Amino acid sequence: MNIIMSYIDHKAANISERELFTFTSSEVCKLYKRIKDFKDILGGVLIATCNRTELYLSMKDGKFYDPFELICEIKEQNTDEMSRVKKTLSGHDAIRHLMLVASGTESQIWGDAQIISQVRDAARTAKEEKTTDSILNVLFRNAISAGKKVKTNIDFNLSDNSTALKAVSILNEKEDINKVLIIGNGVIGRLVGESLVANKFEATMTLRQFKSGAISVPRKIDTVSYADRYKVISDFDAVISATMSPHYTLHYEDMKDISKWPKVFIDLAMPRDIDPRIVENDNFEIQREIPQYYDLDMISRDEVMESKEDHMFEINEIVHEFEQEFYRWYDYRMTMGGIK
């Protein structure tokens, strides 16, 4: 068994640096196709979320390849220049890291409620692309099980342990915020919408006209065409944008002549949805109140972390349990003639 992984996350890379390593669906396919070109790589799984990009490789025994080189190749980044923001782990350290990631302890918002499904989706995509081997399949299955047990057994004592809930909690602390425009109808956008309704906000969600099939919109939420977002934005006190678009959903050039702006802009996307120039003082040609702006790093910066020490011992015990289960499986397979 020879597991090697590289990652870029919120601990070493700021939001501008992490944006360089976000993967579109086509880039994920390109990466997996490239992995198949290496005879010494038996399998690979990419985890790509708002706060981390991680590539796990299962290598032939005695072989080494830095997964970060593959990441940089697909993203057309200079490996030497960007190596300062990455970390590479192997063997036990790589296995334990994955278990902790799935448990939510490595997330920017500690105890992140969304990370288990993100790890599960990553493993499923790799399996669909036929780039996993039995070692990675079982490793990720055990990591997901560890994450589930942590989520079940540990009371993180966090009422807002996701970016969506954190965004709504920020609005709850503001005065005179009633009407909120949600840009994006994906998983995060819907979570935001449900939380806004539960907290008595008036919420409206943008919908793109070209989308086909059934569109899910949470109850009690109005809708507006995405194409009309600039026409209606003056009607709202706050905007929360959470799409998977590689481009801005709100451009400064399209906003600058609008006389009335929302008081708060919250950007939950990676790469960012909202043009940062919108809140730069020098760009205010029309006299208006400077809005408040939050990106992913900002909404997590003031998180209360007191519960960490109280829970890490128990979390480590759970992680150790599933590590040992993985190693027992591997040892058994080896006694049966190796892993196919």
For 155, other C-beta atoms within 10 Å of its C-beta total 9
Q: Where are the alpha helices (DSSP H) in the chain?
A: 15-19, 25-35, 67-75, 79-82, 91-103, 115-128, 134-153, 163-172, 187-198, 229-232, 252-255, 296-301, 307-335
| DSSP secondary structure code for residue 17 in this structure | H
C-alpha to C-alpha distance for 191 and 164, rounded to whole angstroms: 6
C-alpha to C-alpha distance for 63 and 317, rounded to whole angstroms: 31
C-alpha to C-alpha distance for 284 and 109, rounded to whole angstroms: 33
Q: Are 52 and 9 in contact (CB under 8 A)?
A: yes
Residues 6+ apart with CB under 8 A from 77: 20, 21, 71
Q: Where are the alpha helices (DSSP H) in 67-113?
A: 67-75, 79-82, 91-103
Catalytic positions, please? 50
Q: What three-state secondary structure class fits 171?
A: helix
Q: In angstroms, what CA-CA distances link 58 with 11, 38, 74, 96, 148?
A: 25, 11, 19, 15, 24
| Strand partners of residue 181 | 204, 239
